[in-house]
Amino acid sequence: MHIRFWTQHKVLSHSERIQRGRTPIVYTQQPAPTEDPGAPQPTDVRAALLGGTTFRSLSEQTLSPREEKFERTRQTIGLFLAPVVAVVFALLPLNLDLQQHMLAAILLGVIVLWICEPVPIPVGGLIGVAAIVILGVAPASAVLAPFGSTTIFTFIGAFILAQAMLKHGIAQRLALAVLSTPGVGKSTYRVVIAFGVITCILSAFVSNTATVAMLMPTALGVLVVIAKLMQDRGIVKADFDPLRMRVGAALLLMLAYGASVGGLLTPVGSPPNLIGRGLIEEATGVRISFAQWMAIAAPICLAMFVVLALVMLLLNKPEIRRLEGVEEYVREQREAQGKMSRAEINTLIAFGVTVTLWLAPAVASLIGGTESEAYIFLDDRLDEGIVAVLGASLLFILPVNWKQRQATLTWSDAAKIDWGTILLFGTGIIFGALLASTGLAETIGQGASDNLNITNIVAITAFSAVLAILISETTSNTASAAVIVPIVIPLCQAIGVDPFVPALAATFAASFGFMLPVSTPQNAIVYGTGAVPITRMIRTGLLFDILGAVLIITIVPVMIAVVGIGG
């Protein structure tokens, strides 16, 4: 092991460069200086991964000449292709309502901006929102209303809690605890899979967004430890870019995708489940109990997790497999941490209160069912977004030093959260609301059904799942379920097919959408770390979308028959 010493230096994050705010002093542990003064300066791994850098431009990344050429070409193409695609589609003589036609044209242009990144992804979404208002698709008051959704407040509260975990070292402490688990810390593959299992279990009862938001700081802490080990042992260059590591992309994408998989397990795991179940029960008159839902979903979740682990580790193969000597490294770091500080304890209290309130409705549903008064009361009052900001508010109340009136977190700390990701998903919610309100999503579904001449249950099940996934790529999962399931049920009834299988397949598939940061809140969260390149997310997400659709189409009919519900 190298001898280490403490250095004091300034770290300027991307958001701080833009805002020209105050530059914080950060103490980080660095390798001893090399004897050659001309050697590259070692990368400050901790600052790179935990410093809030996100949505980086080419000049802010360390790329090989080949990677830089590809990125420059991709961004240049996108800069000119986006307006061309939007204008050409708007001029096509299609049999569409004017509002739907213009919305589709704008959305296509925005998708090109999101994929090619000629501008930061949040800016691409804002350009689309501005175009919607200017071109008269909808008035500004209606367009901007979704920015007040509960999901936005969940983001804000969860990000502030995460900021406290990062500032006070909770993330690093939990990361070292995970790595010290017997057998886990010896392999990057096991670390990635362990995080996936934890995420799946939690997201079955806690919202997917909340699960990823509270595990993300720990995952970043693990990446710091792994990257530092790689750097110390010469596996990577001293001045490498830790935000370009394949193991980083694998770990963070496992969080995002694992939450979506785990969210399928229970009716309360994600909003699309409740929406789909309610619509199916209303249309068929058959109630799906909590136990029946889990019986159907459990094999799907298990199969999906196995496929997810294989896809993740094959497409994002970690730079190092065995973490030799990690036990000694972790032991040294844990001893250096010492006892928990008052700030750490306060952060855990705020975190614990938030998670407890998030779990309360789910616990009530397990005990008394979703029809019980206790569940209805808690579900109505303990809104996810309100709970998140309430828990975050505790950080400004719980004192570290009462005499000096010093709270656990200051507003200067809270202001450093990733506002870009919040803006990004806000624009995604806007597009989802407009897809539903203008009738464009229904037009797409009805038109595809008519043109494909769907007449049997296998075809309509496949159509339902694929359409739900496609819609959820560019809008929220909730919107996808709310739009697609009402389309599927009357289609089934029109051709004399029991809607149970196709509608449930569409409900499960609505929780998919893994290709873009805007597809799900959890995708946006991990993309916002800066450690998941958009190209990796698209490539990994596309393959998992395809394999996931196959699993849903094949397993859902079998499990419905085994459980014995439906017609």
Q: List for the chain the helix, strand, coil content (%; round to 5).
A: 70, 5, 25
286-294: Cβ within 8 A, 24+ apart: 286/500, 286/565, 286/566, 288/565, 289/369, 290/266, 290/365, 290/366, 290/369, 290/370, 292/563, 292/565, 293/266, 293/267, 294/265, 294/266
List beta partners, residue 25.
10
E strand or H helix that includes residue 122: helix 121-134
Give the dihedral sign, CA 245/248/254/257: negative
Check: CB of residue 283 under 8 Å from CB of residue 489.
Answer: yes
Strands 25-31 and 406-407: unpaired
pLDDT for 272-292, tens place per residue?
Answer: 887 788 878 877 778 787 778
Output phi, psi for 63, to 5 deg.
Answer: -120, 155
| Mean pLDDT (whole number) for 519-530 | 83
DSSP 159-224: HHHHHHHHHTTHHHHHHHHHHTSTTGGGBHHHHHHHHHHHHHHHHTTS-HHHHHHHHHHHHHHHHH
Q: Is the pLDDT of residue 131 over 80?
A: yes
Residue 286: CB atoms within 10 A of its CB come to: 13
Check: CB of residue 45 under 8 Å from CB of residue 242.
Answer: yes
The least confident of 155-159, 362-366, 477-481 is 477-481
pLDDT at 277: 83
- The tokens describing 86, both together, are 């939007």
pLDDT at 299: 95
pLDDT at 309: 95
Output phi, psi for 301, to 5 deg.
Answer: -65, -45
CB contact burial 514-528 (16+ within 10 A = b; e otherwise): bbbbbbbbbbbbbbb
pLDDT tier at 566 (50, 70, 90 boundaries)? Answer: low
pLDDT for 91-110, tens place per residue?
Answer: 999 888 999 999 999 989 98
- The tokens describing 138, both together, are 């909808």
The least confident of 98-102, 292-296, 489-493 is 489-493
pLDDT tier at 39 (50, 70, 90 boundaries)? Answer: low
Q: What is the mean pLDDT of the chain?
A: 80
pLDDT at 28: 38
pLDDT at 166: 73
Among candidate residues 221, 365, 185, the one with its CA nearest the CA of residue 291: 365
| Mean pLDDT (whole number) for 147-159 | 81
- The tokens describing 102, both together, are 């213009």
| Mean pLDDT (whole number) for 378-407 | 90
pLDDT at 34: 45
pLDDT at 129: 94
Which of the pair, 378 or 269, is modelled with greater confidence? 378
pLDDT at 74: 81
Check: CB of residue 249 under 8 Å from CB of residue 536.
Answer: yes
Q: Is the pLDDT of residue 16 over 60?
A: no
Q: Is the pLDDT of residue 7 over 50?
A: no
The least confident of 16-25, 310-319, 333-342, 509-518 is 16-25
pLDDT tier at 138 (50, 70, 90 boundaries)? Answer: very high
pLDDT tier at 294 (50, 70, 90 boundaries)? Answer: confident
Q: Is the pLDDT of residue 25 over 60?
A: no
* 0.75 surpassed by pTM: no
Q: Is the pLDDT of residue 511 over 80?
A: yes
pLDDT tier at 549 (50, 70, 90 boundaries)? Answer: very high
pLDDT tier at 9 (50, 70, 90 boundaries)? Answer: very low
List beta partners, residue 6.
29
Q: Is the pLDDT of residue 2 over 60?
A: no
| Mean pLDDT (whole number) for 108-122 | 84
E strand or H helix that includes residue 279: helix 271-284
Output phi, psi for 8, to 5 deg.
Answer: -110, 125
Output phi, psi for 26, to 5 deg.
Answer: -125, 130
The Cα–Cα gap between 231 and 61 comes to: 18
pLDDT for 167-214, tens place per residue?
Answer: 887 766 776 777 777 878 778 898 899 889 888 987 887 678 777 877
Check: CB of residue 109 under 8 Å from CB of residue 85.
Answer: yes
Query: Would you call 246 exposed, middle or buried from its count of C-beta atoms within 10 A (0-12, 13-18, 19+)?
Result: middle
pLDDT at 153: 86
Strands 406-407 and 399-401: antiparallel
pLDDT at 40: 57
pLDDT for 302-315, tens place per residue?
Answer: 999 999 999 999 99
* pLDDT-above-70 percentage for the chain: 83
Which of the pair, 7 or 96, is modelled with greater confidence? 96
The Cα–Cα gap between 15 and 382 comes to: 32
Torsion angle, CA of 343/344/350/352, rounded to 10 degrees?
Answer: -160
Strands 4-10 and 399-401: unpaired
pLDDT at 38: 54
Among candidate residues 250, 202, 259, the one with its CA nearest the CA of residue 226: 250
DSSP secondary structure code for residue 55 in this structure: S
Torsion angle, CA of 76/79/83/85, rounded to 10 degrees?
Answer: 50
pLDDT at 488: 82
pLDDT tier at 49 (50, 70, 90 boundaries)? Answer: low
Residue 2: CB atoms within 10 A of its CB come to: 10
Check: CB of residue 264 under 8 Å from CB of residue 243.
Answer: no
Check: CB of residue 87 under 8 Å from CB of residue 73.
Answer: no
- The tokens describing 331, both together, are 């032991």
List beta partners, residue 407.
399
Check: CB of residue 421 under 8 Å from CB of residue 212.
Answer: no
pLDDT for 243-277, tens place per residue?
Answer: 888 899 999 999 999 999 998 998 877 878 877 88
pLDDT for 432-455, tens place per residue?
Answer: 778 778 888 777 767 766 776 777
Residue 235: CB atoms within 10 A of its CB come to: 12
Q: Is the pLDDT of residue 496 over 80?
A: no
